[in-house]
Structure 1
């Protein structure tokens, strides 16, 4: 039996044995039958795409971790989308971005959020203090309780992360 067929069989068994349980688990936490069904399906789709299947003993914990991550991603996206829509709500209709532009902006905001989330805490804080509060490296160093040299290293890492988002994805 080849690897693809083996993976399909593993997915089929996982789905058969755990889909109903996962959907019930999600329904209790989300309070919405349809949302729970969507997240359960997305969980198994994520498994299919990754091709990584848990052992029999880890099945439920593995599935719940994937489902939790999907729910967190959805909440994060909704939070970002709401904030963006609130920020443009005051614009007159002719200045309001088109639906296509909104979608592109939201996708970019999601990439930036993911980039910031992957950064170590001090790197993220230094970057945000520099970009949004306009602090100098000396001021950032004082605020974070580190050396200016550390701030320079943090900013280098942050700028590299920005370039990766801009040019590699």
Structure 2
């Protein structure tokens, strides 16, 4: 535990400053810096870390990408809501649940191979059928089916985790 305290005291201010420069926001930078150290504590064999700042930067970059992706999802969702008549807009509680669901789905898809991710997006966002996706990506129809099954399986697991009340593993608090 002494090593963790030492790493925190030596590098927290530095990391927060770097994140603030990227985000332009002190509160978000502090949240991400704290989450970075929480993730670091979960790592095995911290004694083997030769370059603490490089190690912390790697963890922080992953969290930063997740943070930005969630912000984009929220923004796209809120833009879509703005187009709906006010009386059909979901309540703040419903909106929070929907954004959380989008976070779970986005995180579930993060682990997919590039072609699998592309196949899923071509299917769900562009409405392409499996044969068209196969032609677009230069892969076989059966590979598209396998990629889609993997994506839907990941989403089903994410939804089960959400219904069980389990948080996303890379969750960073974002405003709704």
Within 1, Cα distance between the matches of 2:19 and 2:161?
A: 35
- Residue 79 of structure 1 is matched in structure 2 by 72
Q: TM-score, normalised by structure 2?
A: 0.77
How many residues are paired up?
A: 161
- Residue 81 of structure 2 is matched in structure 1 by 88
In terms of fraction of residues, the more helix-rich structure is: 1
Larger Cα-atom Rg: 1
Within 1, Cα distance between the matches of 2:49 and 2:152?
A: 43
Within 1, Cα distance between the matches of 2:128 and 2:31?
A: 44
CA RMSD in angstroms comes to: 2.3
1:24 partnered with 2:30: no
1:117 CA drift (Å): 2.3
1:33 CA drift (Å): 4.0
Q: How does 1:146-165 map to 2 (within 5 A)?
A: 146-165=139-158
Q: How does 1:7-156 map to 2 (within 5 A)?
A: 8-48=1-41, 50=42, 52=44, 53=46, 55=48, 57-156=50-149
Within 2, Cα distance between the matches of 1:114 and 1:62?
A: 22
Query: Per chain length, whose mean CA-contact separation is higher, i.e. which structure has more relative contact order (CA < 8 Å, sep 6+)?
Result: 2
Q: Deviations over 1:35-57 (max 9, x none)?
A: 43333223223334x15435352
Q: TM-score, normalised by structure 1?
A: 0.80
Q: Deviations over 1:64-114 (max 9, x none)?
A: 112222222221111111110010012233211111111110011111112
Within 1, Cα distance between the matches of 2:63 and 2:121?
A: 26
> Gapped runs of 5+ residues in structure 2?
163-176
The runs of 4+ residues in structure 1 deviating greater than 6 Å are none
